[in-house]
Chains A and B, each alone.
Chain A
């Protein structure tokens, strides 16, 4: 199906005797058809793999081996497509299409920015409000529980680019706060975080409920478009938003990092909130490990309390 042997066939057809100019054109056409069929097959394999990765996050607990194997397959395809030059073409085409889809996101963006600006009184950079908002946002969490990680992954997949407005869907941050937190964590002190969360929580619950229904609609589009924003994020039209994310390390938005990074992140439970509030803004690199060991501890404590 996808072995390099397909290309061997191409050279086989070229070996056929060429009688005249017309035949040359015909064999070239055949070759082009062969190549494009290979590209189509490769593309469908890529699409299938991405869907599998999203689906696997819907399960109760994803099979890590399967996820890793699928992610590696996606990476392989991506590498080959990058070498071919097809990857760049595709991302450009999709970001153009994405720009068209942005209008529905504008309203959501507005409410989110609004929320953020109320908490950032000094107007200084607030790199960390999203996850806190998300964790406070109970409606967002409800959606998460209903659809398990389907929403989570959908959002994560489209969260890839810090530049593109699509990643600013508020649902996003509600869905995967822990991961976001790791990436955007700064040296906020606890107090400021708590203030932020309180303000956002009280001020925007109504808006959050609205947001969630909108999230449902736009999510499918974002899943598809968002996935291809990975290597070459579209330039952001909104300088304010761009500024807010300027300190984010873009390497975290590589396809493979998204896909494998997801696996280490537990679904947001009520005790993750404690975790996020008490954290001192760990640096992105170490946060995954400290997050995990703290979670294990909390896990242990919970088991004792619950007596399970």
Chain B
């Protein structure tokens, strides 16, 4: 097998991780949690160039991004859980990221401070003001080195634009605008302007009683700044061109796979609901995740995906139980590797799956302390679907559905992956 992964780091987080995202260089890894906190990890400089431990990341900055709020009008709480984090491409020394909860998006600036001015004339070192009459000489303050301090400050707050829960944010390739999507609407923002956003998609029916479909995810094309896609709870993906009209309710392309009549059940629609959509780095393909599979679509072909990978087909016969315990509504994410040759997504029992598109191989791995011995490669796992269970196989009925891996991320250039279980963050790297 060509998947040889070593566990490099394991972080135990204070709260349930709700999003994981590498920045554009891969040097920084941000996580958001249910308590509204953002924790940023940084790749260790010394180990970056050493093949065996380039996956070493350490905590770089922690800050409280969102607080719980109360909507007085509706008598409802607004959760502080961070739904998504997206990094902006780096333009200067500081780093910028967007983080969002259900209602409000914030732009955070993360900057380093490693020197401070010393030698003021009117102030003491501790900050107290000196009596001006005691000043007899003048000196020029100079910068002196200090211990590195990482500061996170909110630069913009984009609020009050979403009636429904925000599920996605995506920065445009123009680096000036970004979109935010909730269940029924998508808004376009300028990063500089917080009091105004443009509504570009609105699928809210005039009569809410007619509502049968919601938006589940949205993303800008990586290269074409006029193009974005959004997925729905009915398993469709719509590609929209903002040049066509101000309101993109009319899609340019509609991607939908015809239903397989032999698999039809009362759960067909639910399992077809798309939980995540991601463009490939090249911009030629996009990947969607529904409950049981990952599909790769060629943007030039709307009729069906070019590749379909089964994540955990053995669950198809368990859909009723999964409906009963609500697991059928779990929203799994998916991601591409740097050169779009491998895709990855999570599953239950702390399993995650990788599919190599070129070699047509796939593997199931487990993110757990027990299965990750230091210095040893992760062993592939296998789920036994029926009949006699072989040694080392796990039967479907023994799977722990509370241990789900919803969020995974892949380093943009290297084979370093971040996998989040409920409140553990695993960083694996490729064994070279």
Contacts and interface: CB of A to CB of B under 8 A. Distances in A.
A260 B207 CA distance: 10
Interface string B200-221: 0000001111111110100000
B76 interface: yes
A48 interface: yes
A3 interface: yes
B265 interface: yes
Given A4-B264, A263-B211, A302 B73 contact: yes
A48 B164 CA distance: 26
Contacts of A1: 265, 317, 319-320
Interface in A236-266: 252, 254, 256-258, 260-261, 263-264, 266
Interface stretch (A12-20, A62-70, A87-95, A117-125): A62-70
17 contacts: A2-B265, A2-B266, A2-B267, A2-B320, A4-B264, A42-B266, A45-B320, A60-B76, A61-B165, A145-B75, A254-B209, A260-B212, A261-B208, A271-B73, A285-B207, A295-B73, A302-B72
Given A68-B212, A288-B207, A300-B160, A73 B267 contact: yes
Nearest to B324: A48
A100 interface: no
Interface string B174-192: 0000000001100000000
Contacts of B212: 68, 71-72, 260
Contacts of B216: 65
A72 B269 contact: yes
Q: Which 3 pairs from chain A and chain B are nearest by CB?
A: A257-B209, A264-B208, A266-B74
B163 interface: yes
A267 B329 CA distance: 24
A269 interface: yes
A11 interface: no
Main secondary structure of the interface of B (DSSP, over half): loop
A69 to B, nearest CB: 5
A83 interface: no
Contacts of B183: 64-65
A77 B163 contact: no
A289 interface: yes
Contacts of B70: 308
A260 B73 contact: no
Contacts of B144: none
Interface in A37-69: 41-42, 45, 48, 52, 60-61, 63-66, 68-69
Interface in B269-321: 269-270, 273, 317, 319-320
Interface in B69-89: 69-79
Name the residue in B102, B263, B266 with the highest tally of chain A Cβ atoms < 10 Å from its Cβ.
B266
B214 A68 contact: yes
Contacts of A69: 233, 269-270, 273, 329
B208 A269 contact: no
Contacts of B208: 260-261, 263-264, 288
Contacts of A260: 208-212
Contacts of B74: 61, 266-267, 269, 295, 299
Interface in A175-201: none
Interface in B82-109: 102
A64 B183 CA distance: 7
A296 B163 contact: yes
Given A3-B264, A77-B266, A296-B163, A256 B73 contact: no
B63 interface: no
Given A63-B329, A65-B183, A73-B267, A48 B323 contact: yes
A298 interface: yes
Interface residues of A, number: 52
Contact of B75 (A41, A52, A64, A267): A267
Contacts of B266: 2, 42, 45, 73, 76-77
B165 A64 contact: yes
Contact of A65 (B262, B263, B265, B273): B273
Contacts of A64: 164-165, 183-184, 214
A266 B73 contact: yes
A258 B207 CA distance: 12
A68 B211 contact: yes
A292 interface: yes
Contacts of B265: 1-4
Nearest to B164: A64
A56 to B, nearest CB: 10
Most chain B CB within 10 A, of A145, A260, A295, is at A260
A160 to B, nearest CB: 12
Nearest to B232: A65
Nearest to B77: A60
Given A260-B210, A261-B209, A267-B75, 6 more contacts: A2-B265, A257-B209, A261-B208, A263-B208, A264-B208, A295-B73
Contacts of B326: 52, 66
Given A1-B319, A64-B183, A289-B206, A299 B233 contact: no
Given A2-B320, A269-B75, A73 B209 contact: no
Interface in B250-266: 262-266
A268 to B, nearest CB: 8
Contact of A299 (B71, B269, B320): B71
Contacts of B273: 65, 69
Contacts of A298: 73
B324 to A, nearest CB: 6
B399 to A, nearest CB: 18
A4 B263 CA distance: 9
